[in-house]
Structure 1
Amino acid sequence: MAEGDGVTTRGIRIRLDGTATESDIGALHKWLEREKPLEELVRTGRLRLHERSRTDETGAPMGIGMEIVVALVGAAGSVLFQDLLDQVKKAVQAWRDNRREVEDGEPPEGRVEPVNLDDR
């Protein structure tokens, strides 16, 4: 295996605010898996989506205690990573717009930010 193959060091963390439910996390995860061009990257194994427990700085669980991490597999240039970050932000907004149309109440706010996965 070449250096960097299969290595995930850069990722994107998606956190929904305290009004989010487990159903919201699952629905957003599925939405991201089907969103173009993310779907192609997931299908080819270049992108992985994980749900994981989150904690605040003191270690206490926040809200439902889950976040979604989008991990780019292998070496990726900063331009590709920025494009992916922009696409994920658009996908989260599209999910919020869709949820607003199909469910009662305001959807949870989402925060999308780059994260170094080596610091987990």
Structure 2
Amino acid sequence: MAEGDSVANRGIRVRLDDTATESDIGALRKWLEREKPLDELVRAGELRIHEQRRTDETGSPMGAGMDIVMVLTGAAASTVFQEVLDRVKRAVTAWRDNRREVENGESPGARVEPVNTDDR
């Protein structure tokens, strides 16, 4: 077994509610990608951020039906997971506050939660 094979990937899912648009999903993803600690992990190859179609819900016709999934790999998966989860929660809150100030209407609701992942 190669080094790191026994370390499972850990994931974080960010799900906006059905009031979110595709534009909201893209804007939030870009916001997360610009967060310095997250950007550093991406550059080091220890974090992947991507959009994924919802698999457990069909979503409403008005909703975007997409999640943002962040996968921590290798050693980072176990050593910094809680720190990254907390950072993502704060970043999503900051994005929602910013969106409320620059766009009309209420920001979409958001859930940030750990998820089991395979190597996506």
Give the shorter-chain TM-score range: 0.7 to 0.9
Structure 1 unaligned regions, length at least 5: none
Number of residue pairs matched by the alignment: 116
Mind listing any 5+ residue stretches in structure 2 that lack a counterpart? none
The answer to whether the 8 A contact 1:8-1:72 is kept is: no
Instruction: Provide closer, same or farther for how the CA distance between residues 18 and 37 of structure 1 changes in structure 2, counting only shifts above 3 A.
Output: same
Mean Cα deviation higher: 76-85 or 88-97: 76-85
Query: 1:84/1:10 Cα in 2 relative to 1: closer, same or farther (>3 Å)?
Result: same
2:12 aligned with 1:15: no
Instruction: After the TM superposition, list the runs of 4 or more consecutive aligned residues in structure 1 that deviate by more than 4 angstroms.
Output: none
- How many angstroms apart in 2 are the aligned matches of 1:68 and 1:77? 17
- The amino acid that maps onto 1:61 is T
Paired position in structure 1 for 2:69: 69
For residue 52 of structure 2, give the secondary structure of its aligned residue in structure 1.
strand
* Percent of aligned pairs sharing the same letter: 72
SS in 2 for 1:37: helix
CA contact (8 A) 1:8 1:73 kept: yes
Give me the CA root mean square deviation. Answer: 2.3
Q: Give the TM-score taking structure 2 as reference length.
A: 0.86
Task: Assess, with a 3 A threshold, how the Cα gap between structure 1 residues 96 and 8 changes in structure 2: closer, same or farther.
Answer: farther
TM-score relative to the length of structure 1: 0.86
1:20 alignment partner, SS class: coil
**Residue 48 of structure 1: aligned partner:** 48
